[in-house]
Amino acid sequence: MQTLLGIDLGGTKIAAAAVQNGKIIAKVIIPTPKDGAQSVFAAMIEAAKEVLKTAPASRVGVGVPGPLDFKKGEIKFAPNINGIINAPVVAAISAGLGLPVELENDANAAGLAEHTYGAGRGASSSYFITISTGIGGGIIINDRVWRGANGIAGEIGHITALPGGVIAGSGVSGALEAVASGTAMARDATYAYARPVDTKELFAMAEAGDWKALKIVNQAAFYIGTAIGDLQKNLDPEVFVLGGGVSEVGDFFLDKIRAVAEDGAKGFAIPVIRKAVLGSDAGVIGAALAARE
Ligand code: BGC
C-alpha cells in the first residue's frame, strides 16, 4: 500500500502525517513559527522528517493557506502568518526532504479529504468551509478540487461580508474572515469584555446564555450563514461541509448558521449543511491525497 506524506500549514500549528488509504499511521504536530517563511518552511521540514523516520513515504503533499501561485509553486501571501509573501514553498520543502512535492490550498485539501472519506462522501459536489484562525473554502466537483482559472477558487474568507468593515490580512475590508473567524470572534469578545477571551470561553459563555457572548456568536453565524445562502444560489453544491476549530464546538453554532443560510436561500433550494467528521486531521489527510493526485 502506498504511503503518502501530508503536511498541513495552519495559522497556529503545523501537522505532518504519513497516510495510507486515508488513514493516518504516524503524525507530528508543532507550533507555527511567527518569524517568517524561512522558519516556517524549516519547521515543516522538521515535522516531516520526524514522521518519515517511522513511516517512509515517496511522495509529499503540502496544504497551505493562500492565495497560491500553482504554476510557480508559491504562496502569494498567507493572510494570517507573518512574513509569508511570494514564498516558494514547493522548492523549499522539496529541497529539504529530497522528495517531489505537490501543492494544494489547505482548505481545498481538507475539503478533498472530507469529500473522499468524510462528511461529503457520496456527494457529486461539495463545498467545504473551514472556520478557524482564518476562513477558507474548498470546492470539490466530481471528486476533484475546482481551483478556478487563477487558483483562487473557494477563497471564501476574503469575500466582502461587511462593506467597510475591519480590514483582513488580505487587505479586504469587512472580509468574511475579518468578521466571523475564530480570531475575529475572540478579538470582538476581548474588546467587549475588556479582558482576553478566547473562542472556547466565548462559546461556553454564549451557550450559558450570556447576552454579550451570544451577540458575538450570532453575528459571526449571521455572516457565515449569509455567505452560504449566497453560495447556494451561486454554485448550488450538493452539500456544504463545515470544518475547522470553531465548528468543533458542536451543533450550537452550526444550527445558527443553518438558520441564516436557509433564510438566505429561501425560495431557491435549502442548503444541505453537514458538520465535518475528520476533525483537525482533514488537512493532513487531504494534503497526502493531493500527493496521490
Ligand atoms: C486563506 C485561505 C485559507 C484559510 C484557512 C485564509 O486566510 O486565505 O487560503 O484556506 O485562511 O486557513
The closest alpha carbon to 115, from 160, 157, 154, belongs to 154
Q: How far apart are CA 87 and CA 72, in angstroms?
A: 10
Residue 64 confidence (pLDDT)? 98
Residue 201 reports pLDDT greater than 70? yes
Q: How many domains does the chain have?
A: 2
Instruction: Give the mean pLDDT of the chain.
Output: 96
Same domain, residue pair 92 and 234: no
Residue 293 confidence (pLDDT)? 61
Which helix (H) or strand (E) element contains residue 58?
A: none
Residue 230 confidence (pLDDT)? 98
286 near 102, Cβ under 8 Å?
Answer: no
What is the torsion angle, in degrees rounded to the nearest 10, for the CA atoms of residue 222, residue 252, residue 265 and residue 286?
A: 100
Q: Is the CB of 66 under 6 A from ligand 1?
A: yes
Same domain, residue pair 285 and 272: no
Nearest ligand 1 atom to the CA of 106 is: 10
Q: Is the CB of 111 under 6 A from ligand 1?
A: no
pTM of the model: 0.97
Same domain, residue pair 270 and 284: no
Residue 78 reports pLDDT greater than 80? yes
- Mean pLDDT for the stretch of residues 169-196: 98
Beta-bridge partners for 103: 62
113 near 285, Cβ under 8 Å?
Answer: yes
- 234-292 confidence digits (pLDDT tens): 999 999 999 998 767 789 999 999 999 999 999 999 999 999 999 999 999 999 999 98
Q: Is the CB of 138 under 6 A from ligand 1?
A: no
Residue 87 confidence (pLDDT)? 98
Residue 1 confidence (pLDDT)? 83
**For the chain, what percent of residues have pLDDT higher than 90?**
97
Query: Which ranges of the chain would DSSP assign to H, the alpha helix?
Result: 37-54, 89-97, 106-117, 176-180, 182-193, 199-207, 211-234, 251-264, 282-292
Same domain, residue pair 143 and 46: no
Q: How far apart are CA 87 and CA 79, in angstroms?
A: 13
- Quote the cell numbers at residue 193: 469584555
Same domain, residue pair 31 and 81: yes
Nearest ligand 1 atom to the CA of 68 is: 9
Residue 176 confidence (pLDDT)? 98
**For the chain, what percent of residues have pLDDT higher than 70?**
99
Q: What values do phi and psi take at 156, rounded to 5?
A: -70, -20
Structural domain contains residue 153: yes
Residue 29 reports pLDDT greater than 80? yes
- 85-123 confidence digits (pLDDT tens): 999 999 999 999 999 999 999 999 999 999 999 999 999
CATH number for 286? 3.30.420.40
Domain, as residue range, for 11: 4-105+280-292
Cα of 17 vs centre of ligand 1, distance in Å, is 20
Cα of 252 vs centre of ligand 1, distance in Å, is 24
Same domain, residue pair 227 and 90: no
Q: Which residue has the cell 474548498?
A: 138
Q: Whose CA is nearest to atom 5 of ligand 1?
A: 136
Residue 94 confidence (pLDDT)? 98
Q: How far apart are CA 107 and CA 113, in angstroms?
A: 10
Q: Is the CB of 243 under 6 A from ligand 1?
A: no
Q: How far apart are CA 5 and CA 17, in angstroms?
A: 6
